Amino acid sequence: MTAEFFQQITTHGAAVNLSSRAKLRLTGADRIRYLNGQVTNDMRQAQTDESIYACVTDVKGRIAADVFVHTEGDSLLLDAEPDLRETLGMRLERYIVADDVELTDVTEDWQFWHVWGGTDTLASTESIHCSNEFPHHFLRSSRFAPLGIDLWLPASVPPPTFDAHPILSDADLETWRILQKIPRWPQELNAETFPPEAGLEGKAMNFTKGCYIGQEVLSRIKTTGKMPREMIAFESNSPVNSGDELWIEKNVGKVTSVTKHPATGQTIGLAMIRQGSSPDALHIGSSTGPLLRSR
């Protein structure tokens, strides 16, 4: 990503093709109650015009997937990272016992786009052009930090066009994500991570909705404030690679995502470090390696 392109999308926004994401449909009379027992957020608040973010957790409270959910008629629609398509379906199917719930993989049925408007926050869909002859969903979503729009369209119809919104490549989107300090599966979000470690407590969790798998452990973290690790954002003048160890006299964590800042040329990234470690005292690779700076 060039400095000029970064400035353009910061000011005017961008569009992203997310059609490869896993997409699952839940139907049946018990769908909301069932899903509420599987995820960290309150599915009773799911809407037709806005996506709600949540984590699917295991019995130990660690992340099995992160999902965005919205309603469509008598269904709940979930989208998740492409790599989670099979494992998420298996995880959700495992806990459908006597519930009136049916889970269907609809990944291939829908194309899926996200667009945000930079400083001109999207209050309408006027900048998105697609045929109204086909079913489609417009949803408010802040999945890449600025308020934007998720657009679901049948896979068989022509893709939408966007006024003054360039379509980002996967590499450019990854740079934008890291700049916005957004954790992602599997770099920061994985089977070793509690949602609060990745800073998701205020975004993906509801502590008053009732029980769900892993809830007891996560409520204890909420009460005590204690967790093994925490995610930080950093910058460095020195080369840094994903997987590099971070040290303060001893190993206290590792780098999970890195990219080059389009404007400054510095290495920026995300890391998971032991809770309570000083972000500005971290050395790369060893206790005598280059220092990082928090951002």
- Whether 127 has a pLDDT exceeding 70, the answer reads no
Return the CATH class of domain 228-295: mainly beta
Is the sign of the CA dihedral 270, 271, 276, 282 positive or negative?
negative
- Whether 239 has a pLDDT exceeding 50, the answer reads yes
Identify the pLDDT of residue 126.
52
Which residues, 6+ apart, have CB-to-CB distance to 128 below 8 Å? 115, 138, 149, 151, 160, 161, 162
Identify the pLDDT of residue 251.
96
Q: How distant is the alpha carbon of residue 267 from its chain centre? A: 22
Q: What percent of the chain has pLDDT over 70?
A: 94
Is the pLDDT higher at 137 or at 195? 195
> pLDDT tens digits, residue range 150-178?
999 999 988 888 877 899 999 999 999 99
DSSP state of 292: P
Whether the full predicted model's pTM is greater than 0.75, yes or no, is: yes
Identify the pLDDT of residue 12.
87
Closest CA to 220 of 66, 61, 63, 65: 61
Parallel, antiparallel, or unpaired for β 293-294 and 22-27? unpaired
Contact indicator for 33, 98 with CB cutoff of 8 Å: no
Closest CA to 37 of 106, 107, 104, 94: 94
Identify the pLDDT of residue 164.
76
pLDDT mean over 182-209 = 97
- Whether 119 has a pLDDT exceeding 70, the answer reads no
Alpha helices in 205-281 (DSSP H): 215-224
- Whether 122 has a pLDDT exceeding 60, the answer reads no
Q: Does domain 3-179 have CATH number 3.30.1360.120?
A: yes
Going from N- to C-terminal start, the domains of the chain cover 3-179, 228-295
Predicted confidence band of residue 130 (pLDDT cuts 50, 70, 90): low
Give the DSSP H or E segment for 110: strand 110-116
- Whether 132 has a pLDDT exceeding 60, the answer reads no
> pLDDT tens digits, residue range 27-55?
999 999 999 999 999 999 999 999 999 99
